[in-house]
Amino acid sequence: MTEENKETNDGEISDSKILNQDEIDSLLGYGTSTNEDTSQKSGVQAILESNMVSYERLPMLEIVFDRLIRLMATSLRNFTQDNVEVSLDSIESMRFGEYIDSLTLPTLLSVFKAEEWDNYCLMSLDSSLIYSMVDVLLGGRRGTAAMRIEGRPYTTIELNIVKEIIQLILSDLSTAFDPITSVGFVFDRLETNPRFATITRMSNAVIVAHLRIDMEDRGGKIDLMIPYATLEPVRELLLQMFMGERFGRDTIWENHLMSQLWETDVEIKAVLKETEAKLSDVSAWQKGSFLPLDIMPQDTINIFCGDVPLFKGIMGRHDEHVVIKVEGKADKNG
C-alpha cells in the first residue's frame, strides 16, 4: 500500500511540472489576450525587445522630421509644378533586419552618407511613388492612376528622375538638421535588392520615419531609415526636450562673457632675437659682457602673447619711449 501511494505521489509531482500550451504561449509572450490593449508584450518577447531604444528618447528628431516635411512640400511643388502634400505617418524604432523584412518589393533603396558623422543612412521609395512622379513629370493625365507594370526593371528615365528627387530630399534633410548641427548628406548609390543595401548589422537598432506624398489622386510612400549609430555624434543634442536657448546655451551669458573678454588685460612680449649659446659661455658671462644678437635696427621683431606669436614689427623710438611699429601678423611657426 505504501509503494502504491509513493508511485501515485511521484506521478502527481511529475505531472505538475509539465506546462500546458497556454502557459507556454504566455511564457513566450504570444498568448492571446481578451483585453483591448494588446500592444503590451510579456514573457520572453518582452525580454528580447527590452533593449530597444524608443525614438521618444530623441525628441529633437521629431522636430527635425516636422521641418523636413514642410521643406519637402515646397521643394516637390517646385519640382513637379503640381500640388504636392507631404505628411509624416509615423516614427518607430526597430531592428534593421525587421525593417528589411518589412519592405514590399519592388522598391528602390537609396544609400546615402552623412559626411560629418561618417556613417550611412537608407531611404526607400515604393514603386507607386516612382510611377506617379514619372507620370506627373512627363505629362500624365489628371484623375487617372499611374500605370504600373509588374515584373519589369526600372528604366533609365525613371532612375534619373528618382535620383533628382533623392537629391532634393537630402538637401531638405540637411537643412532640417541645421538648427541642431551642420551636416551634409551625400547620395551614394541606388539598389533594388535589399541584401545589397545592408549598411549595419541586422540586430542593430534603427529609427524609421514613414512619409506619405500625395499628388491629388496619385502618390506613394518614402521610408527614411537612420541607424542609432549614425546619430550617436549628435545624440546629446537630440536628447533635448525643446529648442529654446539655442540648445542649452545662454545667449545673455555668452554676450556678457564676450564683452568681459575684450576688457581683459594680457601680457605681451617683444622678442628681438633668439640665439643659441653654449652653457660654458653662459657661465663665463660677467657684469659688462656683451651678447651679439646679429640683428639690424631695420629688422623685424616678433610680438608674443605667451608662446603664441601675434604680430611682427619694427622697433623705434618715440619721445622717451621705445616703441614697435606693427607691420602685420606673425608667422604661425614663430
Which segments of the chain does DSSP mark as H helices, in order? 2-16, 21-28, 43-48, 59-80, 96-102, 127-137, 156-177, 228-231, 235-238, 245-248, 251-262, 279-283
Length of the chain: 334
Q: What is the pLDDT of residue 53?
A: 47
Instruction: Answer for the pair 53, 205: CB distance below 8 angstroms, yes or no.
Output: yes
- Which among 47, 29, 27, 48 is positioned nearest to 39, based on CA atoms? 29
Instruction: Retrieve residue 319's grid coordinates.
Output: 619721445
User: Which residues does residue 120 pair with via DSSP β-bridges, in sequence order?
Assistant: 113
Tens place of pLDDT for every residue, the chain, 334 residues?
445 454 445 544 455 567 777 777 776 656 544 444 444 555 556 555 554 545 446 778 888 888 898 998 888 888 888 888 888 888 888 888 888 888 877 788 889 998 888 889 999 988 888 888 888 888 766 655 555 555 567 788 888 888 998 999 999 999 988 888 888 899 888 888 888 888 888 888 888 889 998 887 778 888 899 888 888 888 878 777 655 444 445 667 778 888 888 888 888 888 877 778 888 888 888 888 887 777 777 778 888 888 888 888 888 888 888 888 888 888 766 4
Q: Is the pTM of this model over 0.85?
A: no
d(CA 170, CA 114): 10
- Residue 64's nearest CA partner among 185, 221, 219, 187 is 185
Cell numbers at 36, concatenated: 483591448
Domains and CATH numbers, the chain: 18-34+41-51 (no CATH), 55-248 (3.40.1550.10), 265-329 (2.30.330.10)
CA atoms of 273 and 258, how far apart (whole Å): 35
Strands 119-126 and 185-191: unpaired
Q: Locate cell 538648427: which residue?
A: 179
Q: Among 251, 250, 226, which residue's Cα sits nearest to residue 64? A: 226
Coil/strand/helix, residue 317: strand
**φ, ψ for residue 238, nearest 5 deg:** -75, -15
Q: Which residues contact 144 (CB under 8 A, 6 or more apart)?
A: 217
Q: What is the pLDDT of residue 8?
A: 47
> What does the pLDDT read at residue 247?
46
What is the C-alpha separation between 283 and 288, in angstroms, rounded? 14
Closest among 225, 185, 180, 234 to 205, alpha carbons compared: 225
